[in-house]
């Protein structure tokens, strides 16, 4: 079995409930390697791209509010890339089923997730569910230089007149 990469997002409820350390400890049981990690703010554009397959679902407006932090008053999430053998399956097993009421009670979603009165599954983490999805998501959430390994082909781009913010 070849090595795989998978994207994990600790969603706004995970950060708000101070579950970050706990979730990282649970994920370390997989013995997978972390090859990228950052905290970032999610805007509507990123949310729409990430959940493009769900845009016609009745719960999508609530889901967009959830991932962009509108439901929790804080739009930070933590994004991580895990790498190793059967990474997708191993991380999904620790995450648990999408519906927190159906998820194994010892999984992250089973232990800490809940169903909101709106019906939305507030389930603490995202985990990629196939190699194709993982590649699409990792390319969306991370720049090549933010990952300590060459995962996918890259190209150089010459940019003139670009202004970027640096430390003073």
CB of 64 to Mg ion, least distance (A): 15
d(CA 30, CA 14): 19
Per-residue DSSP letters for 68-100? TTTTTT--EEEEEEEEEETHHHHHHHHH--SST
Neighbours of 1 (CB within 10 A): 6
Total count of residues recorded for the chain? 168
Quick one: 119 or 153, whose CB is closer to ligand IDP?
119
Quick one: 30 or 123, whose CB is closer to ligand IDP?
123
d(CA 168, CA 16): 32
CB of 155 to ligand IDP, least distance (A): 30
Show which residues are catalytic: 126
Residues 93-152, interacting with Mg ion (CB under 5 A): 129
Which residues contribute to the site for ligand IDP (CB under 6 A)? Answer: 54, 59, 63, 98, 119-121, 123, 126, 129
CB of 141 to ligand IDP, least distance (A): 14
How many helices (H) and strands (E) in the chain? 7, 6
Quick one: 102 or 148, whose CB is closer to Mg ion?
102
Interacting residues toward Mg ion by CB under 5 A:
129
């Amino acid at each position: 079995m070849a090595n795989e990469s998978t994207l994990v997002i600790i969603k706004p409820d995970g950060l708000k409930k101070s579950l970050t350390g706990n979730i990282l400890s649970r994920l370390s049981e997989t013995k997978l390697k972390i090859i990228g990690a950052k905290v970032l703010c999610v805007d509507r554009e990123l949310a729409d791209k990430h959940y493009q397959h769900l845009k016609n679902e009745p719960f999508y407006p609530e889901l967009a509010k959830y991932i962009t932090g509108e439901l929790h008053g804080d739009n930070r999430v933590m994004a991580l890339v895990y790498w190793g053998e059967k990474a997708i399956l191993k991380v999904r097993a620790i995450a648990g089923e999408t519906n927190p009421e159906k998820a194994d009670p010892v999984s992250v979603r089973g232990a800490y997730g809940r169903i909101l009165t709106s019906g939305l599954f507030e389930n603490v983490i995202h985990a990629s569910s196939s190699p194709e999805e993982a590649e699409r998501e990792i390319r969306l959430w991370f720049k090549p230089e933010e990952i300590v390994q060459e995962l996918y082909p890259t190209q150089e781009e010459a940019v003139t007149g670009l202004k970027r913010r640096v430390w003073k």
